[in-house]
Amino acid sequence: MKEYIFFDLDGVIIDSMSYHAKAWIEALSQFGLKFEYEEIYLYEGAIEPDTAKELFLKKGINLTPLFFEEIFKLQKEIFKKKYSKLIKPFPEVPQLLQTLKEKNKKLALVTSTHKEIFQEIFPKNLYLYFSVIITGDKVKKRKPNPDPYLKALQSFQIKNTHALVVENSPAGIMSAKNAKIFCIGITTTLPENYLNLADIIVKNHRELLDVLVNETK
C-alpha cells in the first residue's frame, strides 16, 4: 500500500518549466551560448557541473564550477526579476491535492529548486498539503542522484516500498529510480519517449489522479 506520495515541483505541481527554461536560455545567451528549450527540459533539475557536463561539451564548452556559478547566478536573477511572479499551479492541482488529503495520504514536495526561489514561486495556499518539503539546498547531491528522495524517505521514517514519486523529467525519474521508489512520469513538458524509465506514464493531471487513487488504495 502506497500511503506516501512524493511530488516534484516544477512541471508537476506548478506550471513553471517554460519560465525556468527561458531564464536559462537568456542567461546562457549572455555568455554566447545558444540552447533550445528541449535541451533545457531534458536537464531541468540537473543543470549543474557534474550532471550537465555533456550538455555543455556538445557546445564546445568545458564547464568549470566557477563558470557554472556565474551562469547559475545570472539565471536566478533573470528568473526572479522577469518570471517568478507569472507562475501558477496547474489548474487541476488544488483538487488533486485535496482529494489525496481526504484519503489520508502523506505528501512530500521534493524539488531541486533552491529555497530562495521556492519561497517566491510556491503558492502559499498549497503549503498545508505537504508534511515534508525538501529543496535543492537541503541535500549534497541533487537529482538525478537519489539523495533528495532518500531524504524524503528518512523524513517520514519509511521504507521505499511505502512511497511513490511523480516526476516530469528524465533527471527526476532517475533520482526516484536510483532511490528504488516506484515512479509515475507525467508528460507536462516532455513526450513519453523521454520518460521511459518511469514505471508508468500519464498524460495529464486528471489521469494522474485516477492512477494515484487506484495505486495508493
Q: How far is CA 208 from the centre of its chain?
A: 16
Query: What ranges do the domains of the chain cover?
Result: 4-16+88-215, 17-85
What confidence score (pLDDT) does residue 64 get? 84
What's the chain's length in residues?
A: 217
- What do you get for the CA distance between the two ends of the chain, in Å? 6
pLDDT of residue 40: 85
pLDDT at 216: 52
Alpha-carbon distance 212 to 73, whole Å? 37
Same fold, 4-16+88-215 and 17-85: no
Domain 17-85: which topology? DNA polymerase; domain 1 (1.10.150)
pLDDT digits (tens, 9 = 90+) for 2-55: 899 999 999 999 999 999 999 999 999 998 889 888 888 877 666 776 767 777
pLDDT tens by residue, 60-73: 888 888 888 898 89
pLDDT at 72: 87
User: So what's the pLDDT on residue 89?
Assistant: 97
Measure the CA–CA gap between 146 and 201, rounded to whole angstroms: 20
82: pLDDT strictly greater than 80: yes
For residue range 147-204, what is the model confidence (pLDDT) as tens digits?
A: 999 999 999 999 999 999 999 999 999 999 999 999 999 999 999 999 999 999 999 9
CATH topology (fold) of 4-16+88-215:
Rossmann fold (3.40.50)
Dump pLDDT digits (tens) for 100-125. Answer: 999 999 999 999 988 988 999 999 99
**CB neighbours of 134 closer than 8 A, spacing ≥ 6?**
108, 109, 110, 111, 148, 151, 152, 155
